[in-house]
Amino acid sequence: MANGFAPALLAHLQTVMQEQYPGAKITPNGFLKALIQNNPNLQIASVNGESLAGGGMKLNTLGGQIREVKLKYLPRIIESQVEETDNCDNDQVFQYKEMTLSTPKFAKFSFYLDWATVEQYQADAVRSATIGATGTSVLQEVLNQLLHSINGIVSKVDSDLLGQVTWGVNQTTGSNAAKTINFNKDKDVLNLSDGINEIMYDAMENEVIGDPLIVGSGLFTKYQIKGLETSPYQYYHDTKTAGAWGANQIGVFAKGAVGLVDIDRYIAFKNIVKFGNSTFTTITLPVETTTGIATTMTFNLQIKEIDCPTTLFNGYEEITTDRGYQVIITKRYGLFQQPTDALQAGDRSAGNNGALRYTITNNCDSCPAAE
């Protein structure tokens, strides 16, 4: 029989190709990886007496409730507001501004595995495997197909987050448009106003504290591969930045000025081993496979038992299926950024939000003519 069913002597392509097997590869999602690895922490002990889930910027409590979280902030005082006269006049009444953390984006993917198909598989495909926070027991083939679904899910999340970025005003240009920076082809020319030197100078002028996070692809990734110098920044390659931001564009972000806001739904009282025909749990999935060091993210998982023949969409058309399992993976999420109005008008960095945009070129300042 075909498709790996017993008793045909067919090896899975994954067994042959190992880590090069395309079905389990995850397209580099550098922006999502950067957010997860450097996510700000709400550091809120409780909301109305209920503890928020630890770490990052989650909007759910440990008890499974979803809460609205607002952050308040004040603009800093600028030089022109400081008096030169010794008097008792009042100079300012501070007024807090507020921003609401939100998760406007939603990603969902589901697949179905029917008994009629499973019955034809070899024994290793129908043995028990354990997944999820509840230690849910599933068929090995369910786990295998789940692993083949990861790339589409995390790539969707990454693409959405890239599209949500709001660029701040670069203090060196007075604009939030992409600033062009050339990486000179002639290594013997010392131009202090190009290359990584200019990017790091901009970071200083925009009052970025610590090593900035850089996300991109194209020429800047090629520069990274060449490895010309020690990096005073953290770089994350993302194959989708060219489509989201523009060819050879990079984003430079201050740590703490950007983050991932998300919700874990199926926890606490919703982390149910069996409710009706479904099991609800959370599952931790990798967001990249390129470095060999796992960076993971939590998703919500529902495994629904279909106990009667039914009609389902198979990706192309409606078909009648046998009894089996439907696996539904979901995530609600959004992007946190420093507000662009955190600095008042007249401040030297007004409009800056810790997110700077650049277009990278690789031209020659003064290369000698070819002989």
* Number of H-type helices and E-type strands within the chain: 8, 17
Three-state secondary-structure class, residue 225: helix
pLDDT at position 26 is: 80
C-alpha dist (Å) from residue 79 to 76, 205, 240, 328, 348 = 10, 17, 42, 56, 10
Whole-number Å distance between alpha carbons of 69 and 130: 34
pLDDT at position 317 is: 82
**Whether 107 contacts 333, CB under 8 Å:** yes
The vertex-89 CA angle with 83 and 91, nearest 5°, equals 60
pLDDT at position 33 is: 94
Q: Which CATH number fits domain 168-258+347-361: 1.10.10, 3.30.2320, 2.40.128, 2.130.10?
A: 3.30.2320
> DSSP letters of 113-158?
EEHHHHTTS-GGGSSEEEETTTTEEEEHHHHHHHHTTHHHHHHHHH
Whole-number Å distance between alpha carbons of 248 and 71: 34
Every domain of the chain and the residues it spans: 25-61+102-162+261-336, 168-258+347-361
pLDDT, block means (10 residues), the chain with 371 residues: 38 46 75 94 67 74 81 93 93 93 95 81 74 81 86 95 98 97 84 90 96 97 81 93 97 97 83 78 84 81 87 80 89 96 94 97 74 43
Whole-number Å distance between alpha carbons of 96 and 74: 5
Q: What is the pTM of this model?
A: 0.86
